[in-house]
Amino acid sequence: MMTTKAPKMFGHADGNSFYCSVETIYKPWLREGPVIVASNNDICAIAMNKPAKALDIKMGTILSDLTDLIRENRIATFSSNYELYGEVSSRMMRHFSQYVDRMEVYSIDEAFLDLTGFQNNGLEKYGREIVRSTARNIRMPICLGIAPTKALAKAANKLAKTDIDRKGLYIIDSDSDRVEALKELAIADVWGIGDSYEELLLREGVENAYQFSCMPQKWVRKKMTVMGERLWMELNGVSCLELEMMLPDKKEVCTSRAFRHTVTEFEELQAAVVRYLDSCARKLRKQGSCAQTLYVMIRTDNRKDKWKECFRSLKMELPFPTHTTSELIPYGIELLKKLYPRYRPGQYKYEFRKAEVTLGKLVPENARQANIYDTTDPVYRQKMERLQQVVDEVNGGLNLDSRYLRMGAEITKSNYTALQRNMLSENPLSNWDNRILIGQCV
Ligand SMILES: [Mg+2]
């Protein structure tokens, strides 16, 4: 007997100017005006809302070049507050999950929703309700694209963002809709088309998504590999990308950041390496894995004069797979000691700007194997792991720069390697000191 499956339907939900919108949740008076969110160390703009984009501020513009523009247009500028964005993101995802049985969290502000089965059952009404309730309950304006494939849903979302009349919802549920939508979508805006494919397709005279979908399949496969072919099929309405429900565990974890100021002294670099090591180890404890290798890198800025440039890195095998910060730190410092240049008196000291720590070759924490080179007392190790659990509980969901408990080596006189966040907004969701006072008992 033949069984006919109901045709699939995907929704792609995406927060509008997510970081900027989060910043205005607790400051609604800023909502209509221009808002910018700055990168780490407040160096350049990484997110702009619509009014800020209208002032021709581009992603990556250096903030100090915008001083006059910011003052003249009263642009609200914020340091990036990733704990707050993460909190709002998980609230938004939980909100979406009330509407569908299956969903894929695609990024901090995007999710694919399984809307199969709603085709004949008020898809538009349901989609409209998701958009409206997210704005009402989470205070997050979103756009929702709905279509029979993931790539088409993503395209529909893009169009929902540009066409104000659609009020945040764009549905593709017939072939004529599909053709109409793809004709409106520039080739550069198609999901998965990077700069090099864009160039290749423009050379072939392909300017929009519809023209791409009309290219011969064989040509696409030959020039753009099987991934390009999959995208081509998806745009032609053949679903070949499934929802990825579970995020696969990471294969390695890395923390890499530029410093607020360049540093020359060993203690300053040590503070950064210890802090990044704790950040990596925390990520490992969260996913229940232990690392078997440790990599440390330090570098100066990219400069034109070669003699001032220095890039050094080292990697080592750990004697026992671990995710305990205190156990990892001596190894991190040992590597750094080997990396740190030995200066002769009076010699020019390198101005280091960045450090990176990577923990790799991960194994599940309950599948660790003993090693004959491991000399640590197992009872001592258990005690340290218990202590670590207490530290994690105290620090809770706080991010790297606002933890209550930290290692002594992280704190130096100048604190030049700590992140600069002079325009940080408050976080009433996870910081007790930032809670909002609604009324007071007398
Ligand atoms: Mg977005």
Distance 297 CA to ligand 1 centre (A): 32
Q: How many helices (H) and strands (E) does the chain have?
A: 13, 13
Distance 304 CA to ligand 1 centre (A): 37
What DSSP letter does each residue of 320-389 carry, written as one string? EEE--HHHHHHHHHHHHHHHS--PPTTPPPP-EEEEEEEEES-EEGGG----TT--S-HHHHHHHHHHHH
Distance 110 CA to ligand 1 centre (A): 7
Segment 171-193 mean pLDDT = 93
Residue 287 has pLDDT above 50, yes or no: yes
Residue 442 has pLDDT above 60, yes or no: no
327 SS3 class: helix
Distance 142 CA to ligand 1 centre (A): 8
Residue 4 has pLDDT above 60, yes or no: no
Distance CA 241, CA 235 (A): 11
- 346 φ/ψ sector (left φ>0, alpha ψ -120 to 50, else beta): left
Q: Which two tokens stand for residue 109?
A: 């502000």
Distance 82 CA to ligand 1 centre (A): 15
Distance 14 CA to ligand 1 centre (A): 5
Window from 82-96, 228-242, 409-423 with minimum mean pLDDT: 409-423
Distance 192 CA to ligand 1 centre (A): 16
Distance 134 CA to ligand 1 centre (A): 14
Distance 99 CA to ligand 1 centre (A): 20
Between the alpha carbon of residue 76 and those of residues 21, 55, 73, 243, the distances in Å are: 12, 13, 9, 37
- Which residue ranges make up each domain of the chain? 1-247, 253-410
Distance 109 CA to ligand 1 centre (A): 6
Quickly count: other Cβ atoms within 10 Å of residue 290's Cβ. 22
What contacts 336, CB < 8 A, 6 or more positions away? 266, 269, 270, 273, 296, 298
Q: Which two tokens stand for residue 70?
A: 């910011």
Closest CA to 21 of 49, 42, 55, 44: 49
Distance 326 CA to ligand 1 centre (A): 38
Distance 257 CA to ligand 1 centre (A): 24
The interaxial angle of helices 266-287 and 325-339, nearest 10 deg, is: 140
- Predicted pLDDT at 6: 65
Superfamily of domain 1-247: Reverse transcriptase/Diguanylate cyclase domain (3.30.70.270)
363 forms beta bridges with 290
Distance CA 407, CA 326 (A): 9
Distance 236 CA to ligand 1 centre (A): 25
User: pLDDT tens digit string along 33-60?
Assistant: 999 999 988 889 999 999 999 999 999 9
Contact criterion met (CB below 8 Å) for 9 and 156: no
Distance 47 CA to ligand 1 centre (A): 10
Q: What is the pTM of this model?
A: 0.78
Distance 285 CA to ligand 1 centre (A): 29
Distance 254 CA to ligand 1 centre (A): 24
Distance 54 CA to ligand 1 centre (A): 17
Name the residue with higher pLDDT: 418 or 30: 30
User: pLDDT tens digit string along 111-155?
Assistant: 999 999 887 778 999 999 999 999 999 999 999 999 999 999 999
Quickly count: other Cβ atoms within 10 Å of residue 225's Cβ. 10
Distance 137 CA to ligand 1 centre (A): 18
User: pLDDT tens digit string along 382-393?
Assistant: 888 899 988 888
Q: Which two tokens stand for residue 313?
A: 């890195």
With bands split at pLDDT 50, 70 and 90, how would you rate the model's confidence at 3? very low
Distance 276 CA to ligand 1 centre (A): 28
Distance 135 CA to ligand 1 centre (A): 14
Q: Which fold has domain 253-410?
A: Dna Ligase; domain 1 (3.30.1490)
Distance 181 CA to ligand 1 centre (A): 20
Distance 220 CA to ligand 1 centre (A): 29
User: pLDDT tens digit string along 73-116?
Assistant: 999 999 998 888 988 999 999 999 999 999 999 999 999 999 99
What DSSP letter does each residue of 206-246 carry, written as one string? --BHHHHHTS-HHHHHHHHHHHHHHHHHHHTT--------S
Tell me the chain's radius of gyration from C-alpha atoms: 25
Distance CA 271, CA 28 (A): 38
What does pLDDT average to over the chain?
A: 89
User: pLDDT tens digit string along 328-372?
Assistant: 999 999 999 999 999 998 888 899 999 999 999 998 888 777 777
Distance 157 CA to ligand 1 centre (A): 10
293 SS3 class: strand
